[in-house]
Structure 1
Amino acid sequence: MNLELTRLPGRCIWYSLAVTGLAAVVLAGCSNDGQDNLNNSSQTAVSSPQVSPSPSSASAGQSPQTAAASGTAVDEQPSTVFYEVFVRSFSDSDGDGIGDLRGLTDKLDYLNDGNPDTTDDLGIGGIWLMPVNPSPSYHGYDVTDYRSINPDYGTLQDMQQLVKEAHKRGIKVIMDLVVNHTSKEHPWFVESAKKKDSKFRDFYVWAEDQNRQVSGTSAAGSGNPWHSLLGSHYMGTFWDGMPDLNFDNPEVRSEMEDIGKFWLTQGVDGFRLDAAKHIYEDLLSDKSAATTAKNVAWWQEFRKAMNEVNPKAYIVGEVWENSAVSVGAYLDHAFDSGFNFGLAETLVNSAKTEKDSGVVFTLERTYMLYSQISGGSFTDATFLTNHDQNRVMSQLGNNPDHAKMAAAMLLTLPGNPFIYYGEEIGMLGQKPDEGIREPMQWSADGKSKGQTTWEQSSNNSGNPGGDVESQLHGSNSLLDWYRQLIALRSSVPALQNGGIRDFVSGNEGIMAFERITAGQQVLVVLNLTGKSQTLSLQNGEKGYSYSKVLKALPGEAKLTGDTLTLPPYTTVILE
């Protein structure tokens, strides 16, 4: 069914809710005509989906201090700021122009030097490595050896050293694990194609072996997924260079579990799972609840296997859907997080249009849903753009004010925020894919230590100031803005770990919401516009009073009685 959630007059948000039982959770937050009942005292039990629904829980109307004193279980989302790295583009240690693991290790102090008293590092707490396994492609998403390191990037020992040095600085390391498909140059597939009696034949999906029709449209949108080779046809959902593995074969599942365990024993802290919904969803005709259930069952099996090595391993899945129900299904004892693609699109659009989208209203209901599915153990995975999308600065027309507000939204909302490398310095990038994965810009002249040159920086060569060196000591730079926001997030428990509750501002140029832990409650107010704005605090939820400006970025905000005045493009935290 389609459910229309209306937050303010003229502003509607759509979600596709395919499961009646789960839809009821979201419907609980609306009245019969679809209007938000968040401020209606009769709706206290559902007004804050971040409060545990157990009988012992305090109502959403209680202050966090009261909740903490009474032992209330607040459904928090402990978070870490992650940084997505394309190793090939990041930092080169040996002068061949290709980024490598040693180069990344050399730059760890840029990301986090491990000293909380310094202010010249970014302050991230986690790294997501795009594929580092051997591959014939520059991007690495077609793997030829799952237990080795791409020689362009170094050795297994280099990987171990990277993890060791990252851990010294309090940085977690997760790596891309691409199990939906291999490279067509993988030895398994080479033998599978040549020898029909090989055990590896059934590692892949051959139409003739399974009496399947060589027709249909790929669920990934890449046309016909069947590809001809040596008189047979194999499934390759994304392209012919990536033959799909057959997860109906228990040997394939066992092998992938062993591979995951192998990397956890190397010290890796978890995985980003590529194409997670396509394990069984090959064709457009496969899109169904039954296929999703098969996918979830496999990932539950995988999670259980990883728990044998490291029960705390962080697993985040790429389920490229805007439907909360579609993503939420994977949070049931499978993933810790699913990337929030719908939120990413909405945040970038809000920054671009300088208008609040009502996204917090939607997030409240979404998190209620996720909490029910996961037993309260999920953490959202938020981001602005990634390696598959045009860079955020390009989408925002190279407007630094809009880029700052997009970052402010990302870094004050719940979840694990993921920053795509170079986003913090305003790197530009538009498709084709090589254009959004260009070399990290360390200096304006391109001669800084570690500069990679494997790809021409077509999008960034004419982007003055869009490099680390130019922004390193600038108090008004985008890099400094990211540093300040991450430091603020790390220093305020409610920002780092708290739940979320909408705060209706009545001003479409202002985004406002409360962040709540059992011991702290703050109000986040963002002026998305280039004009000064005011906000009446008389709209505060359940009578909670805010009387102090905890922090205002980049400058000053004035609180006079119940009226908050915000300069243009300002982020304010009140307590």
Structure 2
Amino acid sequence: MKNSKLILMAGFAFAAACAPKEVAEPVNYWPEAGVTYEIFVQSFNDSDGDGIGDLNGVTEKLDYVKELGANAIWFMPIMPSPSYHKYDVTDYRAIHPDYGTMEDFKNLLEEAHKRDIKIVIDMIINHSSSEHPWFVESRKGRDNEFRDYYVWAQKDTIAESIEKKVITLDSDNIRQWHDPGNGDDFYYGFFIGGMPDLNFDNPKVREEIYDIGKFWLEEVGVDGFRLDAAKHIFPDDRPLDNHAFWKEFRAKMEAIKPDVYLVGEVYDKKEIVAPYLPGLPALFNFDFHYTLLEALNTENGMVLAKKQKEILDFYQGITPNFIDATISSNHDQPRLLNELGSDPEKYKQASAILLTMPGAPYLYYGEEIGMLGLKPDENIREPFLWDVIEKDQGRTKWIEPVYSTDATVTPLSVQKEDPNSYFNHYKGLIFMRNSNPALAIGTLELAPEDYPKSIMAYFRKTQNEEIFVLHNLGKEEVTVDVPKGFSNKIYQLGQAVYAEGKVKLGKNSSILLTK
């Protein structure tokens, strides 16, 4: 065994959680503040032995998702596609055959709903695959009935744009205009040539998309959609058209399913993100992810708390009804443990911060067992380790793992038996969050006192409950004063000792106090 594994198996004395004397029953706060578990089916659980994860494999593990405490699952793309990641769809009304059948998916939905687990699927409508029948027809000529389903331009009209592309946070490809082979007419594909952008100036395209949404909501029964590349429905110089489209999309979907859940990927700063809220009531908070890493890696305690307060107040000025989808990682970023220098104490504190902050947290599969991964993307999406390799019937084999191996990551079955494991740490935090309304749906107020730089301090408040949260993000022990009346400890991570109005906090330690 590698040293990292031995450390984990030995347990972390600093990671003991102290439960309150009377523990309330957990409440499902989804979608406003519940926990959503992101699954890449390809890597999750293989039920038929072909080496590829599948929907029946997920169904087998629904009790695990429930045990972890998650309230919903977001599936990365499950529709037919020529790529392993499936973000280039060839059929919007079907299941990729590697993953199973539509009947398998409907059975998964039924079983998930029995367990009060909601199901959200990735909807990729900014672009299709270049192998989609619409595009196959579109490229046949200017007179084809599907020509205007995509964005085409004659070469001489875009000569200055063919080699130009503004690099964005969510794409570093160098071309946006692509030659289908005739050298005259070019088509627009923001990401890559294999993903041609759909033309939303065409009313027929919009109606196609609304019918697809209706199919999944009404005929299949999903609970909502994660909308990929929501910022790029129209080019970046047409943001008002983007905002208007998503308002229209929301109205169409709510007419079908009034409580439909819509979460958008708008990869940008808050000023760009916020105007999408009237159309997409939930938006991923990428600032949270990056500022969390900055806070932990620079030992700057209040930088995240201040940023989060600033974002929430800014969003409130746009609309009072929004869902802040917070993340500590996802399928596009290096694994969180890698980002934190493989420091187990920082890693545990990162999740303690995520799950004691306001918002509706997303948890990327495998984070709860400390999976590892760096770019390229395939290695951020490696197989989940259910059991030791000799016994792991469900482990997928579509890719040879580079980072998350038996030598570096302790499988779930072993972690379940260790009270100080990553898994039990995450499980305990989620339970605590779901059992304390202030942590789930309470407001965020920053502590007024000027604490040392490494301290993050804030209050979570409801009308009937108030929790004071302290995190020491530094390496050195710190002793700080506690606001008057907060003396009842409900949670502790690491070395955190309360006595006579003061708290002594060791390296990457946290404490939660009530009155």
Query: Above 0.5 in TM-score?
Result: yes
Query: Is 1:315 equivalent to 2:262 in the alignment?
Result: yes
Tell me the amino acid that sits aligned with residue 522 of structure 1.
Answer: I
Kept in 2, the 8 Å contact 1:523–1:546? The answer is no
Kept in 2, the 8 Å contact 1:77–1:497? The answer is no
Q: What is the rounded CA distance, in whole Å, between the counterparts of 2:443 and 2:257 in structure 1?
A: 27
Per-residue deviation, residues 109-133 of structure 1 (Å, max 9, x unmatched): 1110xxxxxxxx2111111100000
Aligned to 2:253: 306
CA RMSD of aligned residues (A): 1.9
Query: Is 1:474 equivalent to 2:418 in the alignment?
Result: yes
Per-residue deviation, residues 51-92 of structure 1 (Å, max 9, x unmatched): xxxxxxxxxxxxxxxxxxxxxxxxx99301111100000000
Aligned to 1:427: 371
Which of 98, 107, 116 in structure 1 is aligned with 2:61? Answer: 107
Query: Is 1:179 equivalent to 2:125 in the alignment?
Result: yes
Q: What is the rounded CA distance, in whole Å, between the counterparts of 2:390 and 2:298 in structure 1?
A: 34
Which of 257, 262, 274 in structure 1 is aligned with 2:228? Answer: 274
Tell me the amino acid that sits aligned with residue 345 of structure 1.
Answer: Y
Aligned to 1:491: 435
Which of 324, 333, 336 in structure 2 is aligned with 1:392? Answer: 336
**Which protein has greater RCO, CA pairs closer than 8 Å, 6+ apart?**
2
Kept in 1, the 8 Å contact 2:78–2:99? The answer is yes
Aligned to 2:96: 150
TM-aligned CA deviation for residue 557 of structure 1: 3.9
Q: What is the rounded CA distance, in whole Å, between the counterparts of 1:446 and 1:97 in structure 2?
A: 15
Which of 281, 293, 296 in structure 2 is aligned with 1:336? Answer: 281
Aligned to 2:195: 242
Runs of at least 5 residues in structure 1 that lack an aligned partner in the other structure? 1-75, 113-120, 282-286
Q: How many residues align?
A: 476
Kept in 1, the 8 Å contact 2:481–2:502? The answer is yes
Which of 237, 248, 257 in structure 1 is aligned with 2:210? Answer: 257
**Bigger shift: residues 420-429 or 360-369:** 360-369
Q: What is the rounded CA distance, in whole Å, between the counterparts of 1:446 and 1:227 in structure 2?
A: 48
Kept in 2, the 8 Å contact 1:143–1:183? The answer is yes
SS at match of 1:351: helix
Q: What is the rounded CA distance, in whole Å, between the counterparts of 1:147 and 1:546 in structure 2?
A: 57
Per-residue deviation, residues 481-506 of structure 1 (Å, max 9, x unmatched): 10110010001000011110111451
Q: What is the rounded CA distance, in whole Å, between the counterparts of 1:431 and 1:253 in structure 2?
A: 35
SS at match of 1:369: helix
Kept in 1, the 8 Å contact 2:495–2:507? The answer is no
**Bigger shift: residues 240-249 or 196-205:** 196-205
Per-residue deviation, residues 223-242 of structure 1 (Å, max 9, x unmatched): 12111114221111111110
Kept in 1, the 8 Å contact 2:295–2:303? The answer is no
TM-aligned CA deviation for residue 211 of structure 1: 4.5
Kept in 1, the 8 Å contact 2:468–2:486? The answer is no
Aligned to 2:290: 345
Q: What is the rounded CA distance, in whole Å, between the counterparts of 2:122 and 2:71 in structure 1?
A: 17
Q: What is the rounded CA distance, in whole Å, between the counterparts of 2:156 and 2:128 in structure 1?
A: 20
Q: 1:132 to 1:415 in 2, by over 3 A?
A: same
Q: What is the rounded CA distance, in whole Å, between the counterparts of 2:509 and 2:111 in structure 1?
A: 36
Aligned to 1:35: none
Kept in 2, the 8 Å contact 1:510–1:527? The answer is yes
Kept in 2, the 8 Å contact 1:360–1:513? The answer is yes
Kept in 2, the 8 Å contact 1:77–1:498? The answer is no
TM-aligned CA deviation for residue 433 of structure 1: 1.0
Aligned to 2:466: 521
Which of 174, 177, 195 in structure 2 is aligned with 1:226? Answer: 177
State TM-score, norm by structure 2. 0.89
Q: What is the rounded CA distance, in whole Å, between the counterparts of 2:215 and 2:228 in structure 1?
A: 18
Q: What is the rounded CA distance, in whole Å, between the counterparts of 2:296 and 2:355 in structure 1?
A: 14
Per-residue deviation, residues 355-384 of structure 1 (Å, max 9, x unmatched): 31422222222212211212x111111111
SS at match of 1:365: helix
Tell me the amino acid that sits aligned with residue 189 of structure 2.
Answer: G
Runs of at least 5 residues in structure 2 that lack an aligned partner in the other structure? 1-29
Which of 311, 315, 332 in structure 2 is aligned with 1:366? Answer: 311
State TM-score, norm by structure 1. 0.80
Kept in 2, the 8 Å contact 1:427–1:467? The answer is no
Tell me the amino acid that sits aligned with residue 572 of structure 1.
Answer: I
Aligned to 1:508: 453
Q: 1:270 to 1:330 in 2, by over 3 A?
A: same
Q: 1:325 to 1:191 in 2, by over 3 A?
A: same
Q: 1:571 to 1:167 in 2, by over 3 A?
A: farther
Equivalent residues in 2 for 1:559-574, closer than 5 Å: 559-574=498-513
- Give percent identity, aligned residues only: 44
Which of 53, 60, 71 in structure 2 is aligned with 1:125? Answer: 71
Aligned to 2:490: 551
TM-aligned CA deviation for residue 553 of structure 1: 2.6
Kept in 1, the 8 Å contact 2:32–2:359? The answer is yes
Per-residue deviation, residues 245-281 of structure 1 (Å, max 9, x unmatched): 0010011111111111211122211111111101112
